Structure 1
Amino acid sequence: MGNQRMILPAHSDGIHLSLAELLHYQKQSVRWLPPARSIWSYLSGHHDSTGKGRGMDFAEVRPYQKGDDVRSIDWRITARTGKPHTKLYTEERECPVMVAVDLSSTMQYGTQLLYKSVQAAHIASLICWLTVAQKDRVGAVVIGGEQVVDCPPTARQQGPLQIVNAIKRVHEQTLETGKNQSRDTFLTAMSQLHRLCPKGSDLIVISDFNQLSDGAEQRLKQLAQHNHLRLLHVFDPIEQGETAYRGRFWLGDHRRSLQVSFGRKSTLASLRHDFERHQQRLTALSNQLRSPVYHVSAGKPLLDQLGGIRG
């Protein structure tokens, strides 16, 4: 069921985690520093630069007024409207970044290239290194089978190093024990994220969201009220019914298993239907939270999904 033509990311075997593969993203972070690029614009499908200058946040555009700095004129809008317009900025405040990364049992699954948990770890590592490169503090909540590990926001390289070590440790423990995560664990993680992050933080939740409960949704709504929240959904291609395998295969977790025939169109259609329903739930939640949701496949290297840049 694997894809032999797809090349694994540097230092990765697709199942286990090593410090080398997570530290690899440190040198990649410079490629995504504003104003050059934005990983979020690439994940949204918009490939133009949306970066801002360090120390200032873009606020709005309004008609030019006497005394405005001519260097702040928005020439594109001025040309389009025929009337001069000025860009307004607000001073940028410190914006700690908090990452919640789900490494639980439903994430430790993959059919083509990487386990979803491995892809989630790669995303978290890139975000951490990118954050400290922009001189912001970064912290994390790492979710395992029956544990939630806190990494309070820390500046400089100490923050990412603490986080990638916690990710590697929790991932190994969850692989070894094989314990299933309960919805209470995901809810606990969202509660700890709420406790750890200062108001005004940039929050990123990386998960397949298969353990999303009503209580966790409520906690996410509370987090979205005072923070900038992003949801990052990691999925495996087979969840979309995408596989070249047409035989029978045993699938299961640590409680039960069943034989599935991938040669049947009804099997693939059922998988696609379930995936679409899950997508619709996440879209509805995203709309309620007024927070964007992004989708990343575990069937392709992360850097290939960010504009094809690899290194």
Structure 2
Amino acid sequence: MDLSTSKHFDGVHLSLDELIYYKQQSVSWLPPAKSLWSQMLGQHQSRQLGRGMDFTEVRQYQAGDDVRSIDWRVTARTGKPHTKLFTEEREKPVILYLDMGRSMYFGSTLMLKSVLMAHMASLIAWLSVAQQDRIGAVIDTGHELIELKPTSRNKGPLSLIQTLVHRHEINISQPQNSQFHTGQPSDISTALLALNRLCPKGSEIVMLSDFVRFTPEHQTLLTRLRQHNRVRMIHISDPLEQGQTHYRGVEQVSNHHQTQWLNFASRKARNEIEHAFAVKQNALQELAHSLGISFASLSSGQPLLQQLHGYKHDHNF
């Protein structure tokens, strides 16, 4: 089934059925199948990026123990081989940063960037609780933060998707009655500070955004977040932002700060848009890699599952 052809999907609004759909899809990414993250990273073994292992104790080596787990310091000190014992990490908090700022409500082809973000958030949420992790979120509307504490079992994903559907509908249907289109959006540093406060050490933090409000000045807060947690960045964009469009007319465009006319019939204009996008994305990716943060990109021009199953390995994540 392709969600993009479902009666529950129109690419603009969100529905509970549309996001609950990903509960059944999460099974595809459970062990022993290839993990979601290893698929996007192009890894052949999901163990490398799978659940963490907590160190418990050191005991004397026994026949059959993995030689790679030998503790050489204790072995040298005692003169007898010793091995490290680990237990699989349980109930790891997974915290999503979900950008619902103004720039996310844009889509030129299949869906809004905000809709794609909600689809990915739902898939991660259902997959997390299926692996006995807890799911929480910081939802950034650009004017306020909505914090959802990490919760296990179905309650976590259901609370998350209900909040997303409700908030998304307000911003789509009644922008004139909210602060959605008025005033200057808040700095992303507010959300990064909230993540530092909300996330217990050892959390997995997944940031889903177009990162329009992100600047190099936020590197310090991101570094602090990375010190005690695993952080992933998923950059969400629209084909038009990359200069990819079949439209060949002249149109007025705005980035909420300035407005200008663009001639999409001009190859030069389209190339300039593509170049500007590539420069910004490359800078974001280089910053992420310099901090040890994994980076991936998704496009609102394709259904989510189609992108994940056909993810090219040159999109290093």
Deviation at 1:239, TM superposition (A): 1.7
CA distance in 2, matches of 1:128, 1:275: 29
CA distance in 2, matches of 1:278, 1:301: 24
RMSD, aligned α-carbons: 2.9
Deviation at 1:213, TM superposition (A): 3.1
Identity of aligned residues (%): 36
Q: In the alignment, is the contact (CA less than 8 A) between 2:250 and 2:261 conserved in 1?
A: yes
2:164 equivalent to 1:167: yes
CA distance in 2, matches of 1:68, 1:31: 36
Q: In the alignment, is the contact (CA less than 8 A) between 2:95 and 2:203 conserved in 1?
A: yes
Q: In the alignment, is the contact (CA less than 8 A) between 2:133 and 2:152 conserved in 1?
A: yes
Q: Alignment partner for residue 251 of structure 1, among 250, 253, 267?
A: 253
| 1:153 match | 150
Give structure 2 stretches of 5+ with no counterpart.
69-82, 312-317
What is the letter of the counterpart of residue 50 of structure 1?
Answer: S
Deviation at 1:7, TM superposition (A): 7.5
Secondary structure of the structure 1 residue equivalent to 2:285: helix
What is the letter of the counterpart of residue 13 of structure 1?
Answer: D
CA distance in 2, matches of 1:89, 1:183: 49
1:187-238 superposed Cα distances (whole Å, 9 cap, x missing partner) = 2111111111100001100001010034533211111000000001001111
Secondary structure of the structure 2 residue equivalent to 1:163: helix
Range 211-220 or range 147-156, more displaced: 211-220
Deviation at 1:249, TM superposition (A): 2.2
2:115 equivalent to 1:118: yes
Q: Alignment partner for residue 297 of structure 1, among 280, 296, 299?
A: 299
- Residues 73 and 113 (structure 1), Cα distance of their counterparts in 2 relative to 1, 3 Å cut: farther
Q: Alignment partner for residue 202 of structure 1, among 199, 204, 217?
A: 204
| 2:44 match | 48
Deviation at 1:182, TM superposition (A): 4.8
1:63-142 counterparts in 2 under 5 A?
Answer: 67-69=62-64, 90-94=86-90, 95-142=92-139
1:49-87 superposed Cα distances (whole Å, 9 cap, x missing partner) = 41479987499xxxxx984527x589xxxxxxxxxxxx9
Q: In the alignment, is the contact (CA less than 8 A) between 1:148 and 1:185 conserved in 2?
A: no
What is the letter of the counterpart of residue 155 of structure 1?
Answer: S
What is the letter of the counterpart of residue 292 of structure 2?
Answer: R
CA distance in 2, matches of 1:53, 1:116: 27
2:25 equivalent to 1:23: no
- Residues 48 and 89 (structure 1), Cα distance of their counterparts in 2 relative to 1, 3 Å cut: farther
CA distance in 2, matches of 1:183, 1:226: 29
TM-score normalised according to structure 1 size: 0.82
1:132-184 superposed Cα distances (whole Å, 9 cap, x missing partner) = 00011110011113111000001111111111111112222333324268563
Q: Alignment partner for residue 268 of structure 1, among 242, 260, 270?
A: 270
What is the letter of the counterpart of residue 218 of structure 2?
Answer: A
CA distance in 2, matches of 1:106, 1:41: 29
Q: Alignment partner for residue 188 of structure 1, among 187, 190, 211?
A: 190
| 2:80 match | none
| 1:78 match | none
Secondary structure of the structure 2 residue equivalent to 1:146: coil
Q: In the alignment, is the contact (CA less than 8 A) between 1:34 and 1:51 conserved in 2?
A: no
Q: In the alignment, is the contact (CA less than 8 A) between 1:35 and 1:52 conserved in 2?
A: no
TM-score normalised according to structure 2 size: 0.81
Q: In the alignment, is the contact (CA less than 8 A) between 1:182 and 1:211 conserved in 2?
A: no
CA distance in 2, matches of 1:198, 1:9: 40
Give structure 1 stretches of 5+ with no counterpart.
1-5, 60-64, 75-86
Secondary structure of the structure 2 residue equivalent to 1:245: coil
CA distance in 1, matches of 2:296, 2:269: 26
CA distance in 1, matches of 2:183, 2:153: 32
What is the letter of the counterpart of residue 110 of structure 1?
Answer: G
